[in-house]
Amino acid sequence: MLRKKTLMFLGVLSICCVTGVLPALALDAKAGPIWNDDDAKVKCPAACTAIGGKWNGQWRTTVQGQESVCGCV
C-alpha cells in the first residue's frame, strides 16, 4: 500500500515538473461549530486566512454541535 502511494506521488511530481503546474493542496481549518452555510460564510474565510489559506467554499461538521472544519487551499 505504501509503495503504491509513493509511486502515485512520484507520478504526480513528475507531471508537475514537466508541465510546471502544481496541484492545489487542500487543508482543513478548525472553525468551532458552524451551524449552516450562512454561518460558514462568516467563519470560514477567517479560519482559512489564519492558516495562510483561502476558503474553497466547503465545510463539514466533525463533532456535532462542537466542531467544524473549513476547506482551504
What's residue 12's pLDDT?
A: 47
pLDDT value of position 15? 47
What are the E-state strand segments in 1-73? 27-30, 55-63, 67-72
Query: What pLDDT score was predicted for residue 25?
Result: 83
Cell of 33: 461549530
pLDDT tens-digit profile of 4-56? 554 455 554 444 455 676 566 889 999 999 999 999 999 999 999 999 999 99
- C-alpha–C-alpha distance, residues 59 and 24, integer Å: 17
24-73: CATH class: alpha beta
Mean predicted confidence (pLDDT) in 56-69: 97
